Structure 1
Amino acid sequence: MRTCARWRGRCGLSLRSGALLLLIPPLLLALQLLVVGSLLPGAARVWIGVEEQDGGVAFSVISIEPKWSSRHRGTRSWRPGVEEEAEADDGERREGARAFEDENEMHSRQVGPRALEVQLWAAGEPSFTAELNRIIQYITRPQLNCSKVLSPGRAQPAQHPAAPAHWLLCAEDWLLPASHKTCVAYSFSMDGGDADFLKTVLGLGCEVHCFDPSNSNASGGHLGNSLASNHGDGGVVSQHKMWLEWRAPKKRTQKRRGNPGGVSQTLADIMATLGHHTVHFLYADLLSGEWRVFQNWIEAGTLQNVHHLVAKVHLEWAGFEVGGSNEEVLRYWFSVLQGLQASGLKLVHSSAGEGHSVLKQTVANAHSSYTLSWVNTRH
């Protein structure tokens, strides 16, 4: 102290210089955090506190908080034609999804409680043979054995179909609608291939609704008239000049405006308009539109209210609004099939159609179409 008092001016200068030297490291660190933070996703916010206490320097970083947009919260951003990897909840990296773009245009899809999970490659890499074999094995192996079945055109259960059948309905007691409840059946077909299905569900006393946009005998082309219910009258078929939709309403209004006779709605919209919470039996031959329609049902959660599904799947070409390489299309198809299973549907019957063309390639061990029968075991 005596020395400092003797050299007060020089000592004071030394103390101030020491304090300045102590400030340099935290200031440099603060500058580094600001520069690095600006490069982080979402323009991170950095708050730094520097103060002098008891001859020392206190330094603290209050927060570093990225500004994540809503699309980063719990969702994955899929862009057409871009492969990306997404971080799974368990910390593992899984292969990202690939959206499939239509040759002409891509419409936005309705996204509901669950997003379609695109499966990994069958062979770990793109392979037409591996992807096709995986699909064929899946759609030709029933997942549920039924002790009693309903075959086409018959309303009485039997242990085995009388003849090879295109489709079957599982007639286990716990899978059929209760006798005191209204049975509801929908059919979407434009070629009259649903005649046996209609006969079967009519024999069960179901309220039946048949949808065909080309049917001139159906009621008017706008929603109010075309979705008139038969009020639960069994044995009566309500004809609707309407078809299934899978796109968001705002994206399809302009496209359908030039066709006053063709009205399309999602299955969920149709059920809501008709006042149906459950469809016990549904038949669908959508002429290659089934893949996007299935995806809509998976994402919107509609399948939880469908008990039996009979549908024809077409493999000749990619389908409406489905694009990409052949391997990508096959992987997308398999992902849709897996989505149906994840929604509760189990395959009970498979029937191969004619031809051996898959994505315009002749394949000896595959057919151009299959009629598949599912039952929902979760209802």
Structure 2
Amino acid sequence: MRTCARWWGRGGLSLRAGIPLLLIPPLILALQLLVVGTRLPGAARAWVGEEERDGVVAFSVISIEPERNWRQFGSQRRRPGVEEEKREEDDGGRRVGARAYEDENEMHLRQVGPRALELQQWAVDKSSFTAELNRIVTYITRPQLNCSRVLSPGQTQATQPPASPVHWLLCAEDWLLPAADGSCVAYSFSMDGGDVDFLKTVSGLGCEVHSFDPSNSDASGGHLGNGLASNRGDGGVVSHHKMWLEWRALKKRRTRGNLGSVSQTLADIMAALGHHTVHFLYADLLSAEWRVFQNWIETGTLQNVHHLVATVHLQWAGFEVGGNDEEVLRYWFSVLQGLQASGLKLVHSSAGEGHSVLKHTVANAHGSYTLSWVNTRH
């Protein structure tokens, strides 16, 4: 120690001048930890404002454990007959098994989606089951557009509106139908065979027809299984697909061709089949229609659908729709308003059986309605 003191005192280096040299190794170590820390899985840096202004960087490693699956937010009810799909994606040489859908915590509890479906005001000053239900029933039972010529179920020739009740109608005004020398595309989503008359009508019009039914294991001619392929040019021929509609957007998409899926969004199905427009669409989605409609509204898919025939179910809230009865009714009405804002006008309404709405028996409403719309903006 005395030798060192004499050396420092002799013109080598003063003690004060040597202090910065002593600080170099700790500084190098801190920089190394900072660089390595940011590369650890799940690591994060915390920058503290006051310390940063003083020239000091604070950092911490939050976690290096694998990311946990926290998709337990919200309802996990599933549709009958439809499997939930898992995919393996190639991620930089690693095989990562991941659910391909958006985290359900991204769905607002009041059914506000990624593009914010506009939630309508209450029918009256405060929530009221009777007021909300009356507003919906009034809306879905009053056509907004009168058609002088229509296509009735199973018919291919336009006629005047029939005097007797029918299940659905297609508005056959000349300006609403595909050009005679142009293409015509029709989709049908049904799991109970209730689309037979619809398929007959659109096939008779010479449309390229695609029928989607995940439960159909005995489809007749044109069956394409889970895959999506177009029968373009085969007017009147029905191609059957063992597939269903999804309302959640895929996070990641396959890049190696179209391998098919149990369920896809309407936009993805149209893209896979090479269709920009669907002239006629039939949908009986067994209570999944509310979420599907919301997806169509928020993604703008409805801009490319000209005629829509769909059954809405009121017996229960529907898949992944939450809230008390008044909130559910308000959400339903908001979805109907979203359809109208997308250009759809109601041309026909047909009531189903029963009088159960959200498990309430009501005299002035039915448990389901089949509604026919036409898009006046196409």
Q: TM-score, normalised by structure 2?
A: 0.68
Show CA shifts across 1:323-343 (max 9, x none): 100000000000000000000
- Return 5+ residue gaps in structure 2 as ranges: 1-48, 50-72, 79-102
Q: CA deviation at 1:114?
A: 4.5
CA contact (8 A) 1:115 1:298 kept: no
- Report whether the alignment pairs 1:312 with 2:311: yes
Q: CA deviation at 1:228?
A: 1.4
**Cα distance in 1, alignment partners of residues 202 and 150 from structure 2:** 13
Any idea what SS the aligned residue of 1:249 has?
coil
**Cα distance in 1, alignment partners of residues 275 and 171 from structure 2:** 22
User: Residue in 2 aligned with 1:264?
Assistant: 263
CA contact (8 A) 1:109 1:247 kept: no
User: Residue in 2 aligned with 1:131?
Assistant: 132
User: Residue in 2 aligned with 1:168?
Assistant: 169
User: Residue in 1 aligned with 2:362?
Assistant: 363
The amino acid across from 1:321 in the alignment is E
Any idea what SS the aligned residue of 1:134 has?
helix
Show CA shifts across 1:10-53 (max 9, x none): xxxxxxxxxxxxxxxxxxxxxxxxxxxxxxxxxxx9xxxxxxxx
CA contact (8 A) 1:188 1:243 kept: yes
Aligned residues: CA RMSD: 2.8
**Cα distance in 1, alignment partners of residues 164 and 209 from structure 2:** 25
CA contact (8 A) 2:170 2:372 kept: yes
Taking only the aligned residue pairs, the percentage that are identical comes to 80
User: Residue in 2 aligned with 1:273?
Assistant: 272
User: Residue in 2 aligned with 1:238?
Assistant: 239
Show CA shifts across 1:161-180 (max 9, x none): 26321100000000000011
The amino acid across from 1:308 in the alignment is H
1:152-231 matched pairs, under 5 angstroms = 152-161=153-162, 163-218=164-219, 219=223, 222=226, 226-231=227-232
Q: CA deviation at 1:346?
A: 0.2
User: Residue in 1 aligned with 2:36?
Assistant: none
CA contact (8 A) 1:347 1:374 kept: yes
User: Residue in 1 aligned with 2:283?
Assistant: 284
User: Residue in 1 aligned with 2:333?
Assistant: 334
CA contact (8 A) 2:224 2:239 kept: no
User: Residue in 1 aligned with 2:298?
Assistant: 299
1:97-136 matched pairs, under 5 angstroms = 101-102=74-75, 107=104, 108=106, 114-136=115-137
The amino acid across from 2:241 in the alignment is H
The amino acid across from 1:160 in the alignment is P
**Cα distance in 2, alignment partners of residues 228 and 109 from structure 1:** 32
Q: CA deviation at 1:104?
A: 6.0
CA contact (8 A) 1:101 1:322 kept: no
Q: CA deviation at 1:102?
A: 2.8
Q: CA deviation at 1:249?
A: 1.7
**Cα distance in 2, alignment partners of residues 129 and 103 from structure 1:** 29
1:364-379 matched pairs, under 5 angstroms = 364-379=363-378
**Cα distance in 1, alignment partners of residues 356 and 253 from structure 2:** 31
**Cα distance in 1, alignment partners of residues 181 and 261 from structure 2:** 36
CA contact (8 A) 2:291 2:320 kept: yes
CA contact (8 A) 2:209 2:235 kept: yes
Aligned residues: 274
1:138-157 matched pairs, under 5 angstroms = 138-157=139-158
CA contact (8 A) 1:217 1:239 kept: no
The amino acid across from 1:196 in the alignment is D
Q: CA deviation at 1:160?
A: 1.8
The amino acid across from 2:265 in the alignment is T
1:11-90 matched pairs, under 5 angstroms = none
**Cα distance in 1, alignment partners of residues 247 and 296 from structure 2:** 8
**Cα distance in 1, alignment partners of residues 204 and 121 from structure 2:** 44
**Cα distance in 2, alignment partners of residues 112 and 329 from structure 1:** 15
**Cα distance in 2, alignment partners of residues 314 and 375 from structure 1:** 20
Change beyond 3 A, Cα 1:252–1:275: closer
Show CA shifts across 1:191-234 (max 9, x none): 00000000110111110000000111355654xxx211111311
CA contact (8 A) 1:185 1:206 kept: yes
Change beyond 3 A, Cα 1:109–1:236: farther
**Cα distance in 2, alignment partners of residues 366 and 321 from structure 1:** 23
Deviates more, 1:289-298 or 1:158-167: 158-167
Q: CA deviation at 1:109?
A: 5.6
Show CA shifts across 1:214-273 (max 9, x none): 111355654xxx2111113111000000000001224999xxxxxx99610000000000
Any idea what SS the aligned residue of 2:279 has?
strand
- Return 5+ residue gaps in structure 1 as ranges: 1-44, 46-99, 254-259
Show CA shifts across 1:273-314 (max 9, x none): 000000000000000000000000000000000000000000
Change beyond 3 A, Cα 1:200–1:362: same
**Cα distance in 1, alignment partners of residues 289 and 188 from structure 2:** 13
**Cα distance in 1, alignment partners of residues 113 and 75 from structure 2:** 21
Any idea what SS the aligned residue of 2:146 has?
coil
The amino acid across from 2:190 in the alignment is S
**Cα distance in 2, alignment partners of residues 261 and 361 from structure 1:** 40
